Amino acid sequence: MSEDQKDRVVARRLFGSVRPTQSSGNCVPDLEALKRPFSSTTSQAYLFCAGCGALYETEEEGAETLAKKAGEKILPGDLPNKIYFEIQGCALCDGDQNLVTKKDLSDG
């Protein structure tokens, strides 16, 4: 066993380990929360995790990346706060972070 592996075993014994929350995949966004002002002046869209219900903010570059993953484009007028993205998993849960959907807030 390498020194790094030994250190990890000791750390796990001392501090325990945390596993991601199991993703139920059944979470529904609060549309009113998605319409609230952003907490950061640079945020342009919300990112909702349907796996665990977490809500994130993303800047324009992040929104463009998410739109690409969803096979969509950011249209003029989409940003700020006209669309949001839904993912099936995030850093807090074990769902699939690559399943992204672009959603229109006016459809809610």
Three-state SS at 50: coil
Lowest mean pLDDT among 4-8, 70-74, 77-81: 4-8
Lowest mean pLDDT among 19-23, 55-59, 97-101: 19-23
Lowest mean pLDDT among 20-29, 32-41, 95-104: 20-29
Write down the pTM of the prediction. Answer: 0.76
Q: What is the pLDDT of residue 17?
A: 61
Q: Residue 99 above 60 pLDDT?
A: yes
- Closest by alpha carbon to 83, among 101, 61, 65? 101
Peptide bond into 80 cis (omega under 30): yes
Q: What is the mean pLDDT of the chain?
A: 86
What is the per-residue pLDDT across 12-36, written as a single tens digit (0 to 9) for each? 777 766 555 666 668 899 999 999 9
- Six-digit token pair at 104? 């229109």
In the chain, what's the furthest Cα-to-Cα distance?
Answer: 56
Mean pLDDT of 40-50: 94
Q: Residue 68 above 70 pLDDT?
A: yes
